[in-house]
Amino acid sequence: MAVQNGKAQSPATLMDVAREANVSIATASRVLNGSTRKVRNQSYVKVMEAATKLNYRPNAYAQAVAKGTAPSIVLLVSDISDPYFAAVSQGVVRAAAERGISVTIGVAATPHEELEAVRKAVATRPRGIIVSESEYLDAPERPELESELKQYEASGGRAVFVLNRNLPFPAVDVANDVGARAVAKLIVDSGYSRPVILKGDDAHRSSQERLAGVMDVLDAAGVAVDPKAVANGKFSRTEGYAAIMRMGRSGLLSPGEGALYDGRGVDSVIALNDVMAIGAMTALRANGLEPGKDVGVTGFGDIPYSADVYPPLTTVHLPLAEMGQAAVDSVLGKRDEGDDDRLIYVQSAPDVVLRGSLPRR
């Protein structure tokens, strides 16, 4: 049916279709949506015809209200344009789409925004809420966040975190320590001994685990890491860049008076996150140090494009999209008792991808 006139014209409702097809609204509902259709072929056809004629589109909200729940999940990230979150989101959206459920994305860059986002999310009574957010774990809003989510679970919802086990909810995770040990071993085996370590916030669980793994191996190998060589920062390109620049300004990097490691300077950068590694590489160049030549660099995560920087980044591969998928599975799956702290490992032995940024020396 063509548009009648210029004025806004409300979409056809189920009732309109039923009337047009000369059947009850219930019958119309059955053919247009109903699980086990048990309608006579004749009325089925009539309804379908009426529906297409009227260009009927079900009102998802009305359906949601009537059913008490909606075929949707909400995904909270701190920054979609971060390749890491983008990759996870990709997995989430795709897995959700396969099951016919849509995902609403919310960005929450601060603890406050995150709490607000969760409240709004709960208001839509989704099947599940996926929090792919990992920072600000020690924020004052945390208890509120937790209680909000617990309430949500109590009402039948499902919450899951991605790469964050600080809160008592199921979490999709990977064996950070294993991956960390692998890179550290590679660093040592490749002949590096004066690393800078770029880590995340102390409250950041994944960062902690990665750091522990790295330190473990380094210690065992007799590599003493200078405390000043360990830099804090959020997991972002900018902070990775900034950390190296700071060190550069302080003369810590290149051989010389006051440089790290007894004035010998650093020979490698172990970033506990890919974007930090990428930022670091650019910063190294700004300090006259060629990544992959003067200084070896490793990342963690294997985001897309980590293979496209130059030299290509040697990093720990994490199945980002699969993690998003696992989160959807978790949220949509049936729940067991005592699942609260359940860990969903999608990768128990992350491999390190060898690329050009860490040649033997």
Partner DNA sequence: CTGTTAGCGCGTTCAA
Partner DNA sequence: TTGAACGCGCTAACAG
227 secondary structure, DSSP code: G
Closest residue by Cα to residue 275 from 265, 283, 285: 283
Q: How far is the CB of 116 from DNA (least distance, A)?
A: 17
Q: Does residue number 150 form part of the binding site for a copy of itself (CB under 8 A)?
A: yes
Q: Does residue number 293 form part of the binding site for a copy of itself (CB under 8 A)?
A: no
Residue 212 and residue 230: Cα distance in Å, rounded?
A: 12
Query: CB–CB of 51/40 below 8 Å?
Result: no
Q: Which of 38, 42, 143, 154 binds a copy of itself (CB under 8 A)?
A: 154
Structure tokens, 14: 């189920």
Binder of residue 36, out of a copy of itself, DNA, none (CB less than 5 to 8 A by kind) = none
Contact set with DNA (CB under 7 A): 10, 13-15, 22-27, 29-30, 32-35, 38-40, 42-44, 56, 58-59, 62-63, 65-68
Contacts 24+ apart (CB under 8 A), 149-157: 149/118, 151/122, 152/118, 152/122, 156/69, 157/122, 157/125, 157/126, 157/127, 157/128, 157/129
Query: CB–CB of 214/199 below 8 Å?
Result: no
Q: Which residues pair with 132 in a beta bridge?
A: 77
Residue 115 and residue 345: Cα distance in Å, rounded?
A: 26
Which range, of 7-15, 170-178, 181-189, 194-202, touches a copy of itself by CB under 8 A?
7-15
Q: How far is the CB of 37 from DNA (least distance, A)?
A: 8
Binder of residue 87, out of a copy of itself, DNA, none (CB less than 5 to 8 A by kind) = a copy of itself
Q: How far is the CB of 61 from DNA (least distance, A)?
A: 8
Binding mask 300-319 for a copy of itself (x = CB under 8 A): ----xx-xxxxxx-------
Q: How far is the CB of 304 from DNA (least distance, A)?
A: 39
Q: How far is the CB of 60 from DNA (least distance, A)?
A: 8
Q: Does residue number 288 form part of the binding site for a copy of itself (CB under 8 A)?
A: no
Q: Which residues pair with 269 in a beta bridge?
A: 196, 297
Q: How far is the CB of 98 from DNA (least distance, A)?
A: 21
b/e map 291-312, b = 16+ CB within 10 Å: bbebbbbbbbbbbeebeebebb
Query: CB–CB of 172/330 below 8 Å?
Result: yes
Nearest 5°: the CA angle 220, 221, 224 is: 90
Phi-psi region of 256 (alpha: psi -120 to 50; beta: other; left: phi over 0): left
Tell me which residues in 232-261 interact with a copy of itself (CB under 8 A). Answer: 237
Binder of residue 287, out of a copy of itself, DNA, none (CB less than 5 to 8 A by kind) = none
- CB-based burial of residue 26 (10 Å sphere; 0-12 exposed, 13-18 middle, 19+ buried)? exposed
Tell me which residues in 70-89 interact with a copy of itself (CB under 8 A). Answer: 70, 72, 79-81, 83, 86-87, 89
Q: How far is the CB of 11 from a copy of itself (least distance, A)?
A: 5
Nearest 5°: the CA angle 166, 172, 174 is: 95
Structure tokens, 294: 């003067």
What radius of gyration do the chain's Cα atoms show? 26
Q: Does residue number 332 form part of the binding site for a copy of itself (CB under 8 A)?
A: no
Q: Does residue number 26 form part of the binding site for a copy of itself (CB under 8 A)?
A: no
When the beta carbons of 70 and 163 are compared against DNA, the nearer one is: 70
Query: CB–CB of 315/274 below 8 Å?
Result: yes
When the beta carbons of 117 and 225 are compared against a copy of itself, the nearer one is: 117
Q: How far is the CB of 3 from DNA (least distance, A)?
A: 17
Binder of residue 72, out of a copy of itself, DNA, none (CB less than 5 to 8 A by kind) = a copy of itself
Tell me which residues in 90-109 interact with a copy of itself (CB under 8 A). Answer: 90, 93-94, 97, 102-107
**Interface residues toward a copy of itself, by CB under 8 A:** 3-4, 8-11, 55, 57-62, 64-65, 68, 70, 72, 79-81, 83, 86-87, 89-90, 93-94, 97, 102-107, 113, 119-120, 122-125, 150-151, 154-156, 237, 278-279, 281-282, 285, 304-305, 307-312, 321
